[in-house]
Amino acid sequence: MILLSLGTQDFQFERLLREIDRLIETGVIKEEVFAQIGYNDYKPRHYAYRPFTDFQEFDALLQECSFLITHGGTGTIVGGLKKGKKIIAVPRLKKYNEHVDDHQLEIIGYFSENKLIIGLDEVEELETAIHEIESFHTKKFVSGNEKIIGLIDALAKQIE
């Protein structure tokens, strides 16, 4: 099963939902797809979806999926990486009124440049990415949390 996650912020991302429908129609995507679509008026025609899932349900879907397709939300990307999932990320873009700015391009660019995900600039690149995902090998994700906590701890000890 392919998991599609569009997060929980109140922004449309119909371009990606429509592209998934098109790729299923044309036979590019043969695997079952489940989507957490958030706030979108477009309702998928060829795959199961819900606007939102709770944490446990999403975690189970993430565990079960063969790979994740997502928007450029850091939380979803990091969550998938922590589970060792292959990820294709597509940014919401300001020019389509999908977000207030293009910070998702920067987020996706960072993870992609570090060989952690397949990052796209436009929805039209999704078909190529789907063909590449099986042979894509991600690097192991290492969270920076421990480093940050260590720095804060060292600073706190200096203040004492």
Rounded (10°) CA dihedral 57, 58, 64, 69: 150
> Beta strands of 26-86 (E only): which ranges?
33-36, 48-50, 67-70
Mean pLDDT of the chain: 92
Q: What is the mean pLDDT of residues 131-137?
A: 95
Evaluate if residue 144 carries a pLDDT over 70: no
pLDDT of residue 153: 67
Phi, psi of 14 (to 5 degrees): -65, -30
What is the number of domains present in the chain? 1
Q: What is the mean pLDDT of residues 50-59?
A: 96
Q: What is the mean pLDDT of residues 91-115?
A: 93
pLDDT digits (tens, 9 = 90+) for 78-101: 999 999 999 999 999 999 999 999
Domain harbouring 42, CATH code: 3.40.50.2000
**Host domain of residue 102:** 2-158
pTM to 2 decimal places = 0.88
Evaluate if residue 19 carries a pLDDT over 80: yes
Q: Which residues contact 121 (CB under 8 A, 6 or more apart)?
A: 91, 105
Contact 91, 69 (CB under 8 A): no
- Which residue would you say has higher pLDDT here, 146 or 71? 71
Evaluate if residue 148 carries a pLDDT over 80: no
DSSP 8-state code for residue 62: H
Q: What percent of the chain has pLDDT over 70?
A: 92
Evaluate if residue 154 carries a pLDDT over 80: no
pLDDT of residue 149: 63
Contact 116, 81 (CB under 8 A): yes
